[in-house]
């Protein structure tokens, strides 16, 4: 036996053991720390000393892992010096009862790494030694230069593979024809089938063609005379050297970020340099950024600073067929801009169903079709309607997994987060109860509020013996593409917001999808091979009950934010604005009245100074008004925290276990008990979390708080405060705003949401929304009767949402036991009974009409002094009980 081979085998086995232990340590690290480390590497600095402390802790862990390498090197030197010991092992055979991979060479120490034990060696024949060396891929020690060279070669190989993938995309074969039609036309409609590569490749094609430089131009009617030749050449040279940006808009922030990261990877650069993104409350871009991916909402904000897009060479409006409200507004603005800026190129990417409509809207713009790499898809329907779509979906997935061959991943479409999590749990339970008869299954959910690290898992390639199932909302119809999908399970439903402009109720409805959406979902199964789509509804339902197209969002949404943005862009006559599908005149008038009552516009419709300031915030107008009023009442930071928290989907972790839910509610009550409702409780959560410092993670665990959501809220808070500083709002020092005034805070909240005041009904359970819209003051200064939807008491009745802290307030004691509010000694007196007057920030209709994010109002005078003059009367606000007390 060659001693050198034996030494290599033993060292390879030790190295494999160390790598395995290092991997375990890496997996055990906090997800939040991992994400922040990635941000640090990308150039994002920590926001606070608390984060620095957490990252320092992580650095110490990395340093400890580094000690493992030192230990391994010392041990290798020891073995080289002690050759006699190896010879002794060869002569006497060692402990032949144990294979080498079971011999304990090291054991974990208390802090640094591993402590050596006695030298145990095993005699092996040469074939075993060769197998060990091959298995663990043993390599000799390398110099620093060799390591750098190897790393460079790996990066180059990865870049080479990415370029091969780019060349294999259908758009690559249409590149020259596409660029030619863009050169010849101001507006081009691109129909790109699934997998064509239009989203990731089009801006790269334009950039690589050097179309981002401003072409030399002559003024209209210039025949070459006038200015001297040298002066003209100088101007042309200066114009030619000025680089402009290419912008791609996406309807969702997930898509904007993921596409930007992919394009940066393909261009062998980091996100934030040549390639960047800008979404609500998050951005990575710089002065060298030329390819920018943004949400359509942020693009409207960009137009405020550059209304004619003189710094943009071309703009691509992607996924235009989804008809989001911001996309429709953007297309109307771009149509007007192209009349004034002839150099701007507009590319509208759409599914086939809407291509002709977009072409007609842009006065007959040409349509360019890119064929995708699609394969035929077999479509199956149910013979009769299903009763429970979540259970039916889970059963379909398990059946496919049991009967269909590998490879072949499954893509599932469900309406929302709760359905997705319930379905994922049912599938995992089915796999666990199969007794090992079913192969392993990677169950991966994807929805907007999922942490980015978890969202990226859907792109992972499963092991050869494992199938992947991705459970998604309608985001997977077009915005993201998942390789390897062969089977699609479509429940035929989605969630859509509908806003009743008369009752001001936003209803989140589970609705049937359109036929266009059904076809998009089916197409996801035929990207890499022949696919199968299982529609969990009947063929009759598809043909006769599903609408041809989805109702555009602009015709089912609140228009207040849109009208404010259009006003900020100088568009005063909304009725003459060119919409693809115009909203109703009544909804526009309702939005104007809302903005007038907030003080954002004058009676003639022009923006006020308050309105211009409100338009600077990427927020709902009501929330922007709260911030401005909070500055005047010296509670700007606290109200800004409240607004940041209100932008979250969920502050607390939700559990399905009743005991855990009770424990979580108790932990929440500890934080909320000192205030007058939900919103002030959110402020307390954020402040206590920031005070926790290095113990932030423990704070979140003990109070059942969503740590990822708080990090997001803190980023939102930073942007709000930066906007306040830019607007010159008075930011009080820490000493001036250490204590939270309940009165000032509630009045600041009422400034934006005075229309959402409700008083307790006689049943002591429901509330009557006190919104005298039928007698409110319009922009003309006269009272009107345009909105009579709330005249009927049943349409104005709402209940506290079960998630509200106030939900259990004032409940009668049962069986001699007090409810949890009575047991809280620090509970504010107004919360020991159900509040008679409240203000809410959101009204949501599901099975009932619920008030969300509710705050108790101790005094009617707070409302009367905050709301516009004559909007309320004392009699409208006071309940019968309060009237008797007042008398």
For residue 250, pLDDT over 60 is answered with yes
What tokens appear for 245 in the block? 């940006």
For residue 69, the model assigns a pLDDT of 53
- For residues 631 and 751, what is the distance between their CA atoms, to the nearest angstrom? 12
Q: Which CATH class for the 166-215+241-370 domain?
A: alpha beta
Architecture label for domain 377-554: 3-Layer(aba) Sandwich (3.40)
Q: 869 falls in which pLDDT band (50, 70, 90)?
A: confident
Q: 641 falls in which pLDDT band (50, 70, 90)?
A: very high
- Higher-scoring residue by pLDDT: 269, 108: 269
pLDDT tens-place string over residues 176-222: 999 999 999 999 999 887 678 888 888 999 998 875 454 444 333 44
Instruction: Summarize the confidence of residues 791-814 as an average pLDDT.
Output: 68
- For residues 376 and 486, what is the distance between their CA atoms, to the nearest angstrom? 11
In the DSSP assignment, the letter for residue 772 is -
- Higher-scoring residue by pLDDT: 622, 733: 622
What tokens appear for 582 in the block? 């115009």
Percent of the chain whose predicted confidence (pLDDT) is above 70: 69
- Higher-scoring residue by pLDDT: 765, 626: 626
- For residues 587 and 594, what is the distance between their CA atoms, to the nearest angstrom? 11
Comparing C-alpha atoms, which of 539, 548, 712, 624 is closest to residue 39? 712
For residue 194, the model assigns a pLDDT of 65
For residue 750, the model assigns a pLDDT of 95
pLDDT tens-place string over residues 360-404: 999 999 999 887 666 889 999 999 988 899 999 999 999 999 999
For residue 833, the model assigns a pLDDT of 77
* Segments making up each domain of the chain, as ranges: 3-141, 166-215+241-370, 377-554, 747-886
**Pairing status of strand 367-370 against strand 187-192:** parallel
Instruction: Summarize the confidence of residues 318-326 as an average pLDDT.
Output: 87
Instruction: Flag the least confident range among 69-73, 223-227, 317-321, 561-565.
Output: 223-227
For residue 40, the model assigns a pLDDT of 53
For residue 107, pLDDT over 90 is answered with no
- List, in sequence order, the alpha helices (H) in 138-252: 144-168, 170-173, 175-184, 198-208, 229-240
| Sign, CA torsion 259/261/262/263 | positive
In the DSSP assignment, the letter for residue 102 is G
For residue 185, the model assigns a pLDDT of 94
Instruction: Summarize the confidence of residues 42-55 as an average pLDDT.
Output: 53
Instruction: Flag the least confident range among 232-236, 558-562, 751-755.
Output: 232-236
Are both 166-215+241-370 and 377-554 of the same fold?
A: yes
pLDDT tens-place string over residues 809-860: 754 433 333 333 333 323 344 456 788 999 999 887 767 888 989 999 999 9
Note the residue count of the chain: 887
Instruction: Summarize the confidence of residues 29-44 as an average pLDDT.
Output: 53
For residue 155, pLDDT over 90 is answered with no
Contact at 8 Å (CB) between 785 and 774? yes
Instruction: Flag the least confident range among 421-425, 434-438, 581-585, 652-656.
Output: 652-656
Q: 784 falls in which pLDDT band (50, 70, 90)?
A: very low
How high is the mean pLDDT of the chain?
77
For residue 542, the model assigns a pLDDT of 94
């Amino acid at each position: 036996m060659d001693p050198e081979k034996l030494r290599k085998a033993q060292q390879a086995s030790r190295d494999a053991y160390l790598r395995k232990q290092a991997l375990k340590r890496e997996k055990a690290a906090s997800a939040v720390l991992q994400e922040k480390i990635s941000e640090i590497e990308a150039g994002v600095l920590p926001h606070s000393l608390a984060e620095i402390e957490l990252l320092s802790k992580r650095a110490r862990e990395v340093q400890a892992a580094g000690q493992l390498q030192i230990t391994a090197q010392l041990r290798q030197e020891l073995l080289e010096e002690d050759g006699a010991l190896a010879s002794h092992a060869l002569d006497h055979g060692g402990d032949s009862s144990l294979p080498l991979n079971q011999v304990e060479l090291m054991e974990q120490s208390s802090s640094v790494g591993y402590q050596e034990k006695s030298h145990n060696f095993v005699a092996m024949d040469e074939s075993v030694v060769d197998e060990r060396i091959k298995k663990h891929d043993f390599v000799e020690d390398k110099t620093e230069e060799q390591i750098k060279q190897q790393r460079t070669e790996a990066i180059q190989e990865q870049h080479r593979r990415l370029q091969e993938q780019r060349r294999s995309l259908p758009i690559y074969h249409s590149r020259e024809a596409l660029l030619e039609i863009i050169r010849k036309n101001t507006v081009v409609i691109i129909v790109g089938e699934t997998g064509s590569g239009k989203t990731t490749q089009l801006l790269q094609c334009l950039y690589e063609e050097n179309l981002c430089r401003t072409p030399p131009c002559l003024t209209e009617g210039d025949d070459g005379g006038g200015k001297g030749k040298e002066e003209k050449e100088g101007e042309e040279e200066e114009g030619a050297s000025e680089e402009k940006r290419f912008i791609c808009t996406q309807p969702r922030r997930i898509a904007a970020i993921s596409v930007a990261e992919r394009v940066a990877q393909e261009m062998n650069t980091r996100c934030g340099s040549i390639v960047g993104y800008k979404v609500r409350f998050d951005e990575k871009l710089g002065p060298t950024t030329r390819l920018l991916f943004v949400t359509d909402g942020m693009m409207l904000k960009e137009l405020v600073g550059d209304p004619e897009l003189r710094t943009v060479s071309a703009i691509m409006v992607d996924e235009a067929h989804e008809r989001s409200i911001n996309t429709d507004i953007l297309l109307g603005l771009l149509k007007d801009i192209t009349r004034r800026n002839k150099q701007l190129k507009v590319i509208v990417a759409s599914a086939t169903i809407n291509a002709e409509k977009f072409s007609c809207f842009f006065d007959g713009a040409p349509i360019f079709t890119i064929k995708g790499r699609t394969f035929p898809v077999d479509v199956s329907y149910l013979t009769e309607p299903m009763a429970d779509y979540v259970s039916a979906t889970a059963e379909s997935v398990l059946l496919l997994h049991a009967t269909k061959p590998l490879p072949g991943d499954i893509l599932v479409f469900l309406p929302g987060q709760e359905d997705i999590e319930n379905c994922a749990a049912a599938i995992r339970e089915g796999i666990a109860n199969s007794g090992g008869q079913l192969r392993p299954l990677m169950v991966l959910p994807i929805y907007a509020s999922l942490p980015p690290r978890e969202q990226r898992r859907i792109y992972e390639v499963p092991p050869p013996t494992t199938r992947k199932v991705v459970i998604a909302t309608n985001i997977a119809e077009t915005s993201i593409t998942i390789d390897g999908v062969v089977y699609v399970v479509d429940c035929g439903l989605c969630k859509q917001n509908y806003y009743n402009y008369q009752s001001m109720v936003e209803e989140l409805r589970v609705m049937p999808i359109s036929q266009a959406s059904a076809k998009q979902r089916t197409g996801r199964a035929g990207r890499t091979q022949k696919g199968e789509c299982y529609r969990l509804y009947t063929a009759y339902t598809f043909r006769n009950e599903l609408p041809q197209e989805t109702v555009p969002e602009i015709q089912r949404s609140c228009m207040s934010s849109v009208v404010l943005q259009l006003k900020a862009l100088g568009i005063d006559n909304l009725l003459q604005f060119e919409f693809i599908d115009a909203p109703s005149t009544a909804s526009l008038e309702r939005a104007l009245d809302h903005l007038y009552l907030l003080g954002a516009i004058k009676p003639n419709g022009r923006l006020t100074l308050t309105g211009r300031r409100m338009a600077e915030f990427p927020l709902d107008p009501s929330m922007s008004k709260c911030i401005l009023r909070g500055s005047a009442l010296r509670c700007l930071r606290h109200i800004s925290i409240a607004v940041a928290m209100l932008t979250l989907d969920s502050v607390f972790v939700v559990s399905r276990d009743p005991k855990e839910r009770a424990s979580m509610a108790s932990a929440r009550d500890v934080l909320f008990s000192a205030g007058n409702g939900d919103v002030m409780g959110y402020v307390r959560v954020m402040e206590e979390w920031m005070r926790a410092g290095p113990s932030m993670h423990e704070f979140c665990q003990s109070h059942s708080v969503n740590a990822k959501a708080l990090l997001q809220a803190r980023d939102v808070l930073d942007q709000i405060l930066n906007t306040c500083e830019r607007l010159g709002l008075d930011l009080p020092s820490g000493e001036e705003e250490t204590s939270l005034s309940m009165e000032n805070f509630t009045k600041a909240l009422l400034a934006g949401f005075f229309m959402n005041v409700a008083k307790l009904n006689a049943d002591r359970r429901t509330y009557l929304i006190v919104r005298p819209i039928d007698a409110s003051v319009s922009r003309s200064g006269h009272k009107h009767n345009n909105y009579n939807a709330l005249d009927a008491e049943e349409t104005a009745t709402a209940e506290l949402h079960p998630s509200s802290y106030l939900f259990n307030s004032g409940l009668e004691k049962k069986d001699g036991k007090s409810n949890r509010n009575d047991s809280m000694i620090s509970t504010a007196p107004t919360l020991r009974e159900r509040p008679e007057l409240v203000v809410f920030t959101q009204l949501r209709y599901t099975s009932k009409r619920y008030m969300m994010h509710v705050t108790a109002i101790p005094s009617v005078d707070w409302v009367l002094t905050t709301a516009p003059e004559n909007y309320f009367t004392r009699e409208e606000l006071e309940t019968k009980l309060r009237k008797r007390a007042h008398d």
